[in-house]
Amino acid sequence: MSKPITKITSNKPVFFDNDPQEELITLNIGPTHPATHGVFQNVVQIDGERIVSGVSTIGYIHRAFEKIAEHRPFYQITPLTDRLNYCSSPINNMGWHMTVEKLLNIEIPKRVQYMRVIVMELARIADHIICNGILGVDTGAFSGFLYVMQEREFIYEIFEEICGARLTTNIGRIGGFERDFNEVAFRKIEEFTKRFPPVLKEFEELFVRNRIFIERTSGVAAVTPEEALSYSWSGPILRATGVDYDVRAVAPYCSYEEFDFEVPVGTNGDVYDRFLVRNEEMWQSLRIIEQALEKIKKEPAGVFHADVPEFYLPPKEQVYTNMEALIYHFKIVMGEWETPQSEVYHAVEGANGELGFYLIHDGGRSPYRLHFRRPSFVNYQMFAPMSSGMLISDAIINMSSLNVIAGELDA
C-alpha cells in the first residue's frame, strides 16, 4: 500500500453558518430515499417546507471504473460501460466501441452503423420512458408510468434477441456486432415501431394538457441558457432551456448525418419543458429507427462487422478448427495487438447528454488512462445550488427531471 499523502483540505461537509439561532431543520433526502431513484444523498436545511441550502453527497456506488479500466484490455472495458447509465447501456457500449475504433482507425460498414443507430435509439427511448414515467409518478400520476413501462419491457426483449442480455447488455464488439440481428429481432423492431406510437400518444394525452401536471411542473426549476451552459449542462435538460446542442446533429457519428430528424428545444428550461423535450425526442427516435430499417434493406445482407481480423474476435467454431483463427483469438484475448500511441476524445449523445470517452493509449495492453465524461455527474452539480429557495416537493420533481442515474453519477 502506498504511503498516505498529506491531507490538504478538510473533508467534512460544511453548511455555511447561516443559522445562528438554530431555527432551521436539517433533513436527509437519501441515500436510500424513494425520491432519489438511486443511491445518493442530499442534506438540506429547511425552513418549513422551503429549502434554504443543501449539500449533495455522492459516491455511494463508486466502483473505480477508471482505475479498473487501466488494467483491462479494450474489450473487457465494455461491460464496465454497461454499468454507467444502466437505463441505456447500449449507448454506452457503442460509444466505447466507437472510441476504440477511432483510435485504431477502423472503418465500419454502413449496415453495421445503421444497426448501431437502431440499438442506440431504442435505448434512448427506453431511458426517456423511465425518466418521463417516473416524473409522472413523482407528481402523483401513476398510470402513465404503467402504460409505457410495458413498451420498455418490449425494448428489452429486442435487446435480448440481439445479444442475450436485457439490462447490462454488453452489445457489440470493437469492429461491429458479435452476430447479425436475426429474423425475430428485425420483426420485433418493426413491430415496436407499430405498437409504440399509440402508447406514446396516450401517454402524452395523460400529461401534456393535464391541468394538475402543468401546475406542478410549469415554471418549476426554470434555468436560463446562460446558467445551463455555465454549469456545462448537456442533453435534454440543456435543450429544454433553448440551446439546440445535440451531439448527433452537431458532431454526427455513426452516419447520423444521413438521417432526417429534428432537435426539439424548449423555451423556459423548467420541468415541464424537459418533459416535453424528452417526449418529442422519443418521436424523433422512432423516425430514426424507421429510416434505419429502410436503409438496412438497401445494404448487402449479412454484414455485421468490419473486416479487421486483428481486432475482431473470430467465430468460435473456427477457433477450434482453424489455426489462423486460433492465433488471432489468442492474440486478441491476451491483448497482444499492435495499437497506436495516441489520445482520443469521442462523444456520443447519451440519454442524459454528452457522454464522452477520453482515452490515452500508450500502445500497451490496456488504456494508459480512460476518463468517462458522464453527463449525470456534470448535470447534477447544479441541483443543490438551484434547490435553495425551492419547496421540497418541487426539488423532488426537479431531481426526477434531471434523470440522475446513480451508476453514471458515481462511475
Partner 1 sequence: MDKLDNQLILSSLQEKFGQSVKPLGEPHGLLTVEVDKEAIIEVLSFVKDDETLRFNFLTDITAVHYPKQEREFCVVYHVHNMLQNVRLRLKVFLQGPEPSVASATSVWNGANWMERETYDFFGVVFEGHPDLRRILNMDELEVFPMRKEYPLEDPNRVDKKDFYFGR
What is the contact surface with partner 1 in residues (CB under 8 A)? 1-13, 58-59, 62, 64, 66-68, 70-71, 102-103, 227, 229-233, 243, 245, 250-251, 342-345, 347, 354, 356, 358, 360, 368-369, 371, 373, 377-378, 380-382, 410-411
Q: Tell me the C-alpha distance between 363 and 368, whole Å.
A: 8
Give the angle 75-79-85 at the CA atoms, nearest 5°.
130
Which residues in 250-368 belong to E strands, given as ranges?
A: 342-349, 354-361
191 contacts: CB under 8 Å, gap ≥ 6: none
Nearer to partner 1 by Cβ, of 214 and 229: the residue is 229
Nearer to partner 1 by Cβ, of 65 and 283: the residue is 65
Residue 29: beta bridge partners? 42
CB of 343 to partner 1, least distance (A): 5
Nearer to partner 1 by Cβ, of 213 and 259: the residue is 259
Helices (H), 164-260: 183-207, 211-217, 225-230, 236-239, 247-250
Nearer to partner 1 by Cβ, of 91 and 238: the residue is 238
Nearer to partner 1 by Cβ, of 151 and 408: the residue is 408
CB of 380 to partner 1, least distance (A): 8
Grid coordinates standing for 121? Answer: 435509439
CB of 374 to partner 1, least distance (A): 10
CB-based contact 181:162 (threshold 8 Å): yes
Nearer to partner 1 by Cβ, of 322 and 381: the residue is 381
CB of 233 to partner 1, least distance (A): 8
CB of 46 to partner 1, least distance (A): 21
SS3 (DSSP) at 45: strand
Which string of DSSP letters, residue by residue, matches 70-126? Answer: TTS-GGGTHHHHHTTSTTSHHHHHHHHHHHHHHHHTPPPPHHHHHHHHHHHHHHHHH
CB of 43 to partner 1, least distance (A): 13
> Interhelix angle for 110-138 vs 143-163, to 10°?
150
CB of 263 to partner 1, least distance (A): 12
CB of 347 to partner 1, least distance (A): 8
Nearer to partner 1 by Cβ, of 80 and 243: the residue is 243
- Pairing label, strands 41-47, 354-361: unpaired
Nearer to partner 1 by Cβ, of 180 and 354: the residue is 354
Q: What count of other Cβ atoms lies within 10 Å of the Cβ of residue 268?
A: 18
Q: Tell me the C-alpha distance between 22 and 117, whole Å.
A: 55
Radius of gyration of the chain from Cα atoms?
A: 23
What are the backbone dihedrals phi and psi of residue 181, each rounded to the nearest 5 degrees, phi first? Answer: -65, 135
Nearer to partner 1 by Cβ, of 168 and 232: the residue is 232
Say how far residue 99 (Cα) sits from the centre of its chain. Answer: 16
Q: Tell me the C-alpha distance between 6 and 303, whole Å.
A: 56
Q: Tell me the C-alpha distance between 349 and 244, whole Å.
A: 13
CB of 170 to partner 1, least distance (A): 21
Nearer to partner 1 by Cβ, of 385 and 389: the residue is 385
SS3 (DSSP) at 141: coil
Nearer to partner 1 by Cβ, of 294 and 362: the residue is 362
CB of 135 to partner 1, least distance (A): 24
CB of 197 to partner 1, least distance (A): 32
Q: What count of other Cβ atoms lies within 10 Å of the Cβ of residue 263?
A: 17
Q: Tell me the C-alpha distance between 405 and 402, whole Å.
A: 9
Q: Measuring CA to CA, how many Å separate 38 from each of 29, 138, 383, 403?
A: 11, 14, 15, 10
DSSP-derived secondary structure letter, 354: E
